[in-house]
Chains A and B, each alone.
Chain A
Amino acid sequence: MQEERLDLLNLREFDEEAYKKESEELLEMRMLTAETATFARTEGGFLSLKVGDKEYKRVRVYLTFPLTNPEEYISIREATEKAKEIGMVESLSVLPANQQEMLREQIRLRYFMPEIRKVMELKEEYGYAYWYVETTYGVCRFTTHMSNDAVVTLGESRLLVTDIDGNRYEIPDFYALTVQERKRLDLFL
């Protein structure tokens, strides 16, 4: 019995190279440039990619520093469950203009974080704060919990607001708001 099983398991056949390659691939910084990679739009509204002799029908575009460096180190991943990384784009500017635009389209699709331009109303009622704001996406009403996590500061004057559903809103510069609006936000600061 033992012998049989050993026959089946030929360790010499074990493709160690494949594993080594995979582990190296994990460590490697694979940069995609205009020379190595070509992005193209698909009918369905996504992005396809050609790298060397490999073609991907659809790739995903992930930002690695969405809040601080949204146009740098963009991770391009397979559109599968595992979302394996194909490579990174060091900076959008290394790509031709029309491909830059394609990536921006995909980033717009994946990331939803409207900027709040105006705080028209903010009132507190029994543990919830009700906001009425104007955003880059239009006028909107939403609700946050009255807790510390609802509004967090990113840096000196930048605020990130998270509502009860998990939508995020950004106030790029707190001091650009009017005195009145800032006063309304007092509740959280």
Chain B
Amino acid sequence: MKLLFTLTGEQLEALSLEPGEKLCYCVPVDLAYELKEGADLTRQPARDVAERYGKDSFLIVTSKRLMTLEGKRVISNTDLSGCEKIRCERQVGCGIVTVTDLEQNESCVARVSMRQIVRTSYAVRGASAIVKSIKATGGPENAEQITSLEYETYCEKCGRALPGTSKCPYCEGKMDVFRKFMNLCGGFTGRLLLISTLMLVTAAMSMLSPLIQRNFIDNALADGTGTWVDYALFVGLTFAILIGTIAIEVWKNLACVRLGSELSMSLRSRLYQKIQMLSLSFINKRKPGELMNRISRDTNQIRDFFQDVFGSMFSVLLTMVASLIVMLAISVKMTLLSLVFVAVVFVLMKIFRHRIHVIFSRQWFKSDELSNSIQDIISGMRIVKTFGTEERESARFSRKSMEFAEISSKNETFWAVFFPILTFLMGGGTYIAVLLGGQDVLQGRMTLGELVQFMAYSGYLFGPLDWMTHMPRAVMQMVTSLNRIYDVLDEEPRIKDTKDSREIQIKGAFRFEEVYFGYNTYEPVLENISFDVKPGEMIGFVGASGTGKSTMINLIMRLYDPDQGRITVDGVDLRDVKIECLHSQLGVVLQETFLFSGSILDNICFAKPDATLAEVIQAAKAANAHDFICKTPNGYNTRVGEHGYTLSGGERQRIAIARAILNNPRVLILDEATSALDTESEFLIQQALDRLIQGRTTFAIAHRLSTLRGADRLVVINEHGIAEMGSHDELLKKKGIYYGLVTAQLKMAEGRPEAEDAGEGAAAEAAGA
């Protein structure tokens, strides 16, 4: 995404840059926000929203200042050295840029629509980096240069929406598309050659048959000199050509189908591999389902193209051109007349197609709506019944159903009337040929055979017209799909091994150094996190939901890299450790326990496929899973996952724990690992986990604080940063956030405030007896 737009000379002048002041970021601001100088705050605002789009407006970050420019007028001008914080706040349907000065006064300096919000937040991040650098070193020299890997939503050149690709499929050079296409067909050259040859042969054969017809008519029928030999020869030849054409067509179609499926299969597996390699940040940036679409729908699109379009594309074009030449040779006058007609029909088809498209998409919308409301009502049946609103819902449904019926009956009528008319027009060319050609034949200027031949060829010209109106769309769809696929294939994974990556034997000392991170450009999740973890230490993360506890763990697992700062393990930057090496030494139990389709055995062995059965049982026992597994019909061979045996949340979690234990990891990560268990099972597993965490560095998240009683240190995360850190006792003494959390939970468990004896009993348990 572009972060430095070019200003005109006049605009640059208006900024009156000081010597040494450098333009760092310049992004468009598309909503007007006005400054009213000398405003009396009781009567009118100093700055106000103007309900118009920004004209030629930019948010500008230099090495010294943050400015908003409209045309040649500087609307706001802030010295970065006087800033505490600069933020891009998301509003509803828009965003605003706010500046907090050293006295904690906030002001709004710009307003942008959703189209520019991502770009703006990048520029704001850039400005914040400069502010930070000025604070730390007094100058902007050490500021991090912010760049954006995100794609634009609109093409800069043609203004079309980009279908989730980095380059516009329309404006991109033809060579690039061609390169992708060749790359795609790379391993299939032989097959492509075969298909091309077959296409040539079919085209030639279809050209042949009218020629034979003409000879037969002129030499045998018209003058009555033909014998039965001529007759038999004609029938035989025509029949042979027919059979031959059919055979070759079938062969060609089969080859196309095979090529299409194999191509899409190879693309699918390449995509799948690539997506697994790409970092989560790439995957999360895309809408859920979008990547799935790329794997399934886009590859199918390519397959369909090869099956339906590619196979006939060249032979149809070839036949059309050849027919035209022959037609011209027979009669220039008739050909030109037919061509006019071809043009008319082509235009009609195009309009007709558009119309059909419109009315049918309307029908699809309605049918979508109808099925949605059926689904709504059926899945909400219990609610509908309990509130007794059946009648209202049926009435609503009937109305929708009626609308749908109306539209579809209208559409069917349209079909029934217009389709025959169109067919008539398509055949119209022949009437003209007969009309004009017939006269020529009668006057002896043309033979009957020639007329028949002409008519046959004009059929070749009209036949594929319908298909031709469809072809550009099909090609464009293929190019779009191709682009979307190659966008993923060409993407470099952001988290990857470099040549300096090494394998290390992890001892378990972790260190966070001024780590900043956010999933989204405009929302930081963690800010300035620094702390040390000794090998074998158990760290508990505590805090309200959504404060970034799981994010900490994602960073430790290196599913993401920090935006700023670094994390080290045994003194080595996580970025320099081979990813596979790191992950093989982590044991992870996550909040959402995902089981793959397969047996329980497969699931437990996921990270260590060569484990012995005894090891598997040992791990399952440690996770308190052995008993319930034995009770399932097929024991460890019971299939779970989709369409498999249904396990409860607690059971799944225990399998996940067994999976983590089996790997005998150096570092253990427990993200709400026991949240779905009942108290008794949790107590049992906690015993197992207590044994397990001996001597391993452990990071644990839990809402039930009793789960963290074994933690050596607790890290309380609040408002993007570390609020408190220390042992259970230290934090209790401090009487801060943690103290509040513990007492609140105890009170909750206790229920009745007056039963103080019972309360202290519970306190003993929770405080880690």
Residues in chain A within 8 A of chain B (CB atoms) = 2, 4-6, 8-9, 11-12, 14, 16, 19, 40-46, 57-58, 66, 79, 81, 98, 102, 105, 108-114, 124-128, 130, 136-138, 140-143, 146, 148, 163-168, 186-189
Selected contact of A12 from candidates B113, B369, B476, B756, CB within 8 Å? B756
Contact A166 B114, beta carbon cutoff 8 Å: yes
Contacts known (A11-B743, A141-B159, A166-B114); A43 close to B768, Cβ less than 8 A:
no
Contact A45 B114, beta carbon cutoff 8 Å: no
Among the stretches B590-598, B652-660, B728-736, the one at the interface with A is B728-736
Contact A143 B154, beta carbon cutoff 8 Å: yes
Say yes or no for B763: interface residue by CB 8 A criterion: yes
Selected contact of B113 from candidates A125, A148, A167, CB within 8 Å? A167
Selected contact of A110 from candidates B52, B92, B357, CB within 8 Å? B92
Contacts known (A143-B154, A166-B114); A98 close to B43, Cβ less than 8 A:
yes
Say yes or no for B104: interface residue by CB 8 A criterion: yes
Range of interface residues on B (Cβ < 8 Å): 35 or more
Contact A112 B733, beta carbon cutoff 8 Å: no
Say yes or no for B565: interface residue by CB 8 A criterion: no
B43-101 with Cβ < 8 A to chain A? 43, 45-49, 51-53, 91-94, 96, 98-99
Say yes or no for B767: interface residue by CB 8 A criterion: yes
Contact A5 B768, beta carbon cutoff 8 Å: yes
A-B contact count (CB 8 A): 167
Contact A45 B728, beta carbon cutoff 8 Å: no
Contact B369 A148, beta carbon cutoff 8 Å: yes
A21: min CB distance to chain B, Å? 13
Say yes or no for B628: interface residue by CB 8 A criterion: no
Say yes or no for B746: interface residue by CB 8 A criterion: yes
Contacts known (A66-B92, A126-B480); A6 close to B767, Cβ less than 8 A:
yes
A124 to B51, CA, bound (A): 29
Say yes or no for B157: interface residue by CB 8 A criterion: no
Selected contact of A45 from candidates B48, B362, B368, B750, CB within 8 Å? B48
Inter-chain pairs besides A109-B91, A167-B93, 8 sampled, C-beta below 8 Å? A2-B764, A6-B760, A6-B767, A19-B747, A110-B91, A126-B477, A138-B53, A165-B153
Selected contact of B51 from candidates A108, A140, A142, CB within 8 Å? A108
Kindly list chain B residues whose C-beta atoms are within 8 Å of the C-beta of A41. 41-42, 45-46
Contact B108 A16, beta carbon cutoff 8 Å: no
Contact A128 B93, beta carbon cutoff 8 Å: no
Contact B45 A105, beta carbon cutoff 8 Å: yes
Q: Mark B460-491, 1 if CB is under 8 A from A, else 0.
A: 00000000000001001100100000000000
Kindly list chain B residues whose C-beta atoms are within 8 Å of the C-beta of A12. 756
Kindly list chain B residues whose C-beta atoms are within 8 Å of the C-beta of A9. 732, 742-743, 746, 763, 767
Kindly list chain A residues whose C-beta atoms are within 8 Å of the C-beta of B48. 45, 105, 108
A186 to B111, CA, bound (A): 33
B337-378 with Cβ < 8 A to chain A? 357-358, 361-362, 365, 368-369
Closest to B43 in A: A98
Most buried by B among A9, A124, A140, A168: A9
- Some 17 contacts from A to B, beta carbons below 8 A apart, are A5-B728, A5-B768, A8-B732, A11-B760, A16-B753, A42-B105, A43-B107, A44-B108, A45-B46, A112-B93, A112-B111, A137-B53, A140-B53, A148-B365, A165-B113, A165-B114, A165-B153
Closest to A104 in B: B49
B574: min CB distance to chain A, Å? 28
Kindly list chain A residues whose C-beta atoms are within 8 Å of the C-beta of B107. 42-46
Contacts known (A110-B92, A111-B92); A126 close to B476, Cβ less than 8 A:
yes
Contact B163 A127, beta carbon cutoff 8 Å: yes
Contact B96 A109, beta carbon cutoff 8 Å: yes
B108: min CB distance to chain A, Å? 4
A66 to B92, CA, bound (A): 10
A66 to B91, CA, bound (A): 13
Contacts known (A45-B46, A105-B49); A143 close to B161, Cβ less than 8 A:
yes
Contact A187 B358, beta carbon cutoff 8 Å: yes
Say yes or no for B229: interface residue by CB 8 A criterion: no
Contact B111 A109, beta carbon cutoff 8 Å: yes
Kindly list chain B residues whose C-beta atoms are within 8 Å of the C-beta of A58. 106
A81 to B546, CA, bound (A): 11
Kindly list chain A residues whose C-beta atoms are within 8 Å of the C-beta of B33. 45
A20: min CB distance to chain B, Å? 10
B710: min CB distance to chain A, Å? 13
Kindly list chain B residues whose C-beta atoms are within 8 Å of the C-beta of A114. 51
B118: min CB distance to chain A, Å? 9
Most buried by A among B93, B98, B733: B93
Contact A188 B365, beta carbon cutoff 8 Å: yes
Q: Mark B385-409, 1 if CB is under 8 A from A, else 0.
A: 0000000000000000000000000
Say yes or no for B232: interface residue by CB 8 A criterion: no
Contacts known (A6-B767, A137-B51, A148-B365); A112 close to B92, Cβ less than 8 A:
yes
A128 to B361, CA, bound (A): 13
Contact B114 A167, beta carbon cutoff 8 Å: yes
A2 to B763, CA, bound (A): 10
Contact B42 A168, beta carbon cutoff 8 Å: no
A143 to B155, CA, bound (A): 12
Contact A164 B105, beta carbon cutoff 8 Å: no
Kindly list chain A residues whose C-beta atoms are within 8 Å of the C-beta of B733. 8
Kindly list chain A residues whose C-beta atoms are within 8 Å of the C-beta of B93. 111-113, 166-168
Contact B368 A126, beta carbon cutoff 8 Å: no
Closest to B480 in A: A126
Kindly list chain A residues whose C-beta atoms are within 8 Å of the C-beta of B98. 44
